[in-house]
Amino acid sequence: MTRVRQDRVQRVRAVVPTGAPKGPGSPADRILQLQRSVGNAAVGRAAQRRTLQRDLIVEGSLAQTHGLLLDHLAKAPNARRLFEYCKSQRKTTVRFRGRFDTRSEFGETMCHVTDNNGRVHDIDQPDTVDWNAVHQKSPIEITIFINVGFVFGQGEDAETLLHEIDVHALDYLQFIEQMRAAPDRRAIKGIWGRAARGTSSGERQHRRLAAGRQRRLTQDIGHVGQQIGLGQELEAAYKMDVEEHSDYL
Ligand SMILES: [Zn+2]
């Protein structure tokens, strides 16, 4: 079953306009840097990696500012659950990656399980899984992609990261916790099916956001805004995010 997970975005913003100021630190310069880092990864040069803590990976394809923001976001009341869980559990990883997205999504969050045969399964696609090859401790990775084709301010960057964590990744975390505690394979199959049909449905997650009922996100935005002094920017980015998803209502 196809799941809507990508963030549909109607606005066009932040693409460097022709004739924009150039020079170090300018939007044009920043996008060039990002293009360079992503380009390098694309030609197979070893991607630079910064490991903040065990099982939290921030790839060099993501802007350095995102890495710095994540240090703060990892302390937000709800987002921290994801970081703490992955820190305490072996075989549960969160990976943040930058990528150029030619569609206009700001971010995308996915969750994959690796089975005993090394096959990787998207949890939103449970129909092809060999249930004899997965178990409670199968390795799981949540991957959060951030579209580095946009030039954002820090408030928007932080809101995009928080959206992916609070709106999407924490529902995957619920699946992971249940799967880790499952008594047998049959239970795993049931948990997996329920997640794909319900909890981790992008439609449902975005509808809740559009209705202003995504409390995890609003709480974390309030907390992070105070901590890094970007309250107004974060609030504005959140309001825009809610408006952009109004067609889910
Ligand atoms: Zn989303």
Determine the pLDDT at residue 61. 81
pTM of structure: 0.79
Q: How far is the CA of 148 from the centre of ligand 1 (A)?
A: 16
Residue range 120-166, pLDDT digits in tens: 999 888 888 999 999 999 999 999 999 888 777 889 999 999 999 99
Confidence class of residue 25 from pLDDT cuts 50, 70 and 90? Answer: low
- The greatest distance separating any two alpha carbons of the chain, rounded to the nearest whole angstrom, comes to 61
Confidence class of residue 59 from pLDDT cuts 50, 70 and 90? Answer: confident
Q: How far is the CA of 183 from the centre of ligand 1 (A)?
A: 32
User: What does each C-alpha distance from 78 to 82, 85, 169 come to in angstroms?
Assistant: 8, 12, 11
Residue range 233-246, pLDDT digits in tens: 999 999 999 999 99
What is the CA angle 139-48-148, rounded to 5? 90
Give alpha helix (H) positions in the chain. Answer: 27-42, 64-73, 79-88, 154-162, 170-180, 185-194, 202-210, 215-228, 231-244
Contact indicator for 120, 208 with CB cutoff of 8 Å: no
**Bigger pLDDT: 63 vs 109:** 109
Q: How far is the CA of 184 from the centre of ligand 1 (A)?
A: 32
Q: How far is the CA of 109 from the centre of ligand 1 (A)?
A: 8
Q: How far is the CA of 76 from the centre of ligand 1 (A)?
A: 19
Q: How far is the CA of 195 from the centre of ligand 1 (A)?
A: 16
Determine the pLDDT at residue 24. 55
Residue range 76-108, pLDDT digits in tens: 999 999 999 998 988 999 999 998 877 778 899
Q: How far apart are CA 55 and CA 189, in angstroms?
A: 25
Determine the pLDDT at residue 134. 95
Q: How far is the CA of 116 from the centre of ligand 1 (A)?
A: 31
The mean pLDDT of the chain is 80
Q: How far is the CA of 202 from the centre of ligand 1 (A)?
A: 7
Q: How far is the CA of 198 from the centre of ligand 1 (A)?
A: 15
Q: How far is the CA of 223 from the centre of ligand 1 (A)?
A: 20
Residues 20-47 have a mean pLDDT of 42
Q: Which residues contact 162 (CB under 8 A, 6 or more apart)?
A: 73, 76, 79, 217, 220, 221, 224
Q: How far is the CA of 156 from the centre of ligand 1 (A)?
A: 14
Report DSSP letters for 27-69, one per residue: HHHHHHHHHHHHHHHHTTPPPPEEEEETTEEEETTS-HHHHHH
Determine the pLDDT at residue 148. 83
Residues 216-221 have a mean pLDDT of 97
Cα-Cα-Cα-Cα dihedral sign, residues 148, 149, 153, 159: negative
Q: How far is the CA of 245 from the centre of ligand 1 (A)?
A: 9
Determine the pLDDT at residue 55. 60
Q: How far apart are CA 56 and CA 236, in angstroms?
A: 28
Q: How far is the CA of 224 from the centre of ligand 1 (A)?
A: 19
Determine the pLDDT at residue 48. 39
Residue 34, pLDDT > 60, answer: no
Confidence class of residue 4 from pLDDT cuts 50, 70 and 90? Answer: very low
Determine the pLDDT at residue 177. 95
* Secondary structure class of 159 (helix, strand, coil): helix
Q: Give the domain ranges of the chain.
A: 48-248
Determine the pLDDT at residue 51. 41
Residues 62-71 have a mean pLDDT of 84
Q: How far is the CA of 90 from the centre of ligand 1 (A)?
A: 27
Q: How far is the CA of 103 from the centre of ligand 1 (A)?
A: 14
User: In this structure, what token pair is assigned to residue 61?
Assistant: 């394809």
Q: How far is the CA of 209 from the centre of ligand 1 (A)?
A: 9
Q: How far is the CA of 66 from the centre of ligand 1 (A)?
A: 17
Determine the pLDDT at residue 23. 53
Confidence class of residue 74 from pLDDT cuts 50, 70 and 90? Answer: very high
